[in-house]
């Protein structure tokens, strides 16, 4: 009996094709914060702010600067939703804490703030997995941006291991 080489050829083609697709030069592989990790980050940060006596909104954005999670505490001021997003977006865009924004020259700051969703208020932190930017967190509502940032840092410390940091 003569066996057809076709099944063996198709199997080899599938193996080679999948190996090629993984390293295909026309594709990009990117890591992003997962929804579960974003939820843990947001809830840990919110809990810290609650324990400190602050009503806040926490926004976590993913690798593509899209909103992953928003937690807005009971009775929080309505402006905190937009402000927390702006802080997260600014931290993502600048790859640094929003605390440094106020240190910019008035001219540089004014032109920077012309961009949509930017904020010069403290309370936004980037999220890194090693050196790779995978998202950002912004918190608004505590009486001072340094308090917002402290809550965000508590959340980041909690998820550090899950990010490989």
pTM, rounded to two decimals: 0.83
19: pLDDT strictly greater than 70:
no
Per-residue pLDDT, 106: 85
22: pLDDT strictly greater than 80:
no
What superfamily would CATH give domain 35-163? Haem-degrading domain (3.30.450.150)
What residue spans define the domains of the chain? 35-163
Per-residue pLDDT, 61: 98
Per-residue pLDDT, 153: 98
SS3 sequence, the chain? CCCCCHHHHHHHHHHHHHHHHHCCCCCCCCCCCCHHHHHHHHHHHHHHHHHCCCCCEEEEECCCCCEEEEEECCCCCCHHHHHHHHHHHHHHHHCCCHHHHHHCCHHHHHHHCCCCCCCCCCCEEEEEECCEEEEEEEEECCCCHHHHHHHHHHHHHHHCHHHCC
71: pLDDT strictly greater than 70:
yes
Per-residue pLDDT, 2: 53
């Amino acid at each position: 009996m003569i066996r057809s080489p076709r099944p063996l050829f198709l199997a080899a083609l599938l193996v080679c094709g999948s190996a090629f697709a993984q390293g295909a030069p026309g594709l990009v592989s990117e890591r992003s914060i997962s929804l579960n990790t974003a939820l843990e980050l947001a809830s840990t940060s919110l809990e810290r702010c609650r324990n400190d006596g602050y009503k806040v909104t926490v926004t976590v954005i993913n690798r593509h600067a899209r909103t992953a999670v928003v937690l807005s505490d009971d009775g929080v001021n309505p402006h905190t939703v937009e402000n927390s997003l702006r802080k997260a977006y600014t931290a993502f865009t600048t790859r640094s804490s929003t605390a440094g924004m106020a240190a910019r020259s008035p001219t540089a700051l004014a032109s920077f703030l012309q961009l949509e969703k930017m904020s010069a208020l403290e309370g936004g932190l980037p999220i890194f997995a090693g050196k790779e930017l995978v998202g950002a967190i912004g918190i608004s509502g505590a009486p001072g941006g340094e308090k917002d940032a402290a809550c965000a840092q508590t959340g980041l410390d909690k998820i550090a291991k899950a990010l490989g940091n």
